[in-house]
Amino acid sequence: MSAQTTNDTSVFNQLNIFAHQKVVFCNDVATGLKAIIAIHDTTLGPALGGTRMWPYKTENDALQDVLRLSRSMTYKAAITGLNLGGGSAVIIGDSRKDKTEALLRMFGKFVKNLNGEYITAEDVGTNTRDMEYIRMETEHVSGLPESIGGSGDPGPVAARGVFMGIKGCLKELYGNDTLTGKSIAVQGTGQVGEHLVRLLRDENAKVYVSDIDEDRLRQVAKKYGAEAVEHNSIFDLDVDIYAPCALGATINTQTINRLKCAIIAGSANSQLEDEQVHGKMLLEKGILYAPDYVINAGGLINMYSEIAGFNKKRTLQLTENIYDAIRNVLKLSKAENISTILAANKIAEKRIADIKKIKTSY
């Protein structure tokens, strides 16, 4: 699974960088569907991951995104202890203009043709209604509404996982995991951010919130007694914890120089602009970073529960395990003096390698 860095942008070469198993290009003239499904690794189980609909500037941008997303799903499932592989899909197009029932159902047919090797779910630009259309063509969909037997909104479960991850970080750093008296800046008050703010305020943490949606920001701040701040100033706050719960790549050279926190722990995917460079910068600056795919696994656990037939109680129990998962990552990072993201990758890769051995031993 080791990565080779190269400037060669040919398709097969890009697939080799993270050793992707399979990539399917889906094209349908009648519906205008142009999609890519990437299956990174199925050692642990079927590849589960969302379908993102985005107006990518180039086809190569779409390919790179789906390769990156599917690989991170492999790692997320592996470190969370789930029997799932990693996969993702992207549909090239503007979800506000180009999305139709026919396009989504055509996409569903492509998913069906993979016979369960890939299970799809929602992501940026797709929603539960879209999953219902895809479900009309294939059973290999997760994240359906509760009203039709699905696991429902993953937001509260994802928030619970982030909350447990924050506590795991506190325990490692201070020897106890209490949030009382701690200050935390939550960037993004959406599906996950709002529930996280609620959990933090329930434990009397001092919470600052930012959002580019001013109405939402005001509503959430008022409802939970948090302090609203201007979204550009979130990186300058003198807080214990920064919780990125909006978009990815908010942790980069510029922001690391501004951050004063001791811990970064939030739900956003792909938080580090560059895994190697910024993981190392955080290690050197002494900021404890909870790797995104470990701390935000609650959403995946929620979807897995739908496939495995778990009830809510079991789903929450698995989500609570994020506390220990984060602590294990931090321990390895400390023991080997490596960035926390590298430590997480090592743990995930070891589980996959160990299970691969069992699979080939008889």
Residues interacting with ligand NAD, by CB under 6 A? Answer: 154-155, 158, 187-193, 210-213, 216, 231, 245-248, 267-269, 296, 299
Q: How far is the CB of 184 from ligand NAD (least distance, A)?
A: 15
Pick 216 or 346: Cβ nearer ligand NAD: 216
Position closest to ligand NAD via CB: 190
For the bound state, the minimum distance from the C-beta of residue 281 to ligand NAD, rounded and expressed in Å, comes to 21
Residues with Cβ within 8 Å of 91's Cβ and at least 6 positions away in sequence, in order, are: 33, 34, 35, 51, 52, 53, 54, 103, 107, 125, 126
Q: Shortest approach of ligand NAD to residue 248 CB, angstroms?
A: 6
> Closest CB to ligand NAD among 45 and 155?
155
> Which of 22, 216 has the CB closer to ligand NAD?
216
Nearest approach in angstroms of CB 109 to ligand NAD is: 26
Structure tokens at 72: 């991170």
User: Quick check: 303 and 154 in contact, CB under 8 A?
Assistant: yes
Residue nearer to ligand NAD on the CB measure, 138 or 302? 302
Query: For residue 231, what are its two tokens?
Result: 């979204």
Which lies closer to ligand NAD via its Cβ, residue 106 or residue 229? 229
Shortest Cβ distance from residue 113 to ligand NAD (Å)? 27
How many angstroms separate the CA atoms of 193 and 198, rounded? 9
Q: How far is CA 177 from CA 153, 224, 266, in A?
A: 27, 21, 16
Spatial CA neighbour of 33 closest among 87, 104, 88 = 104
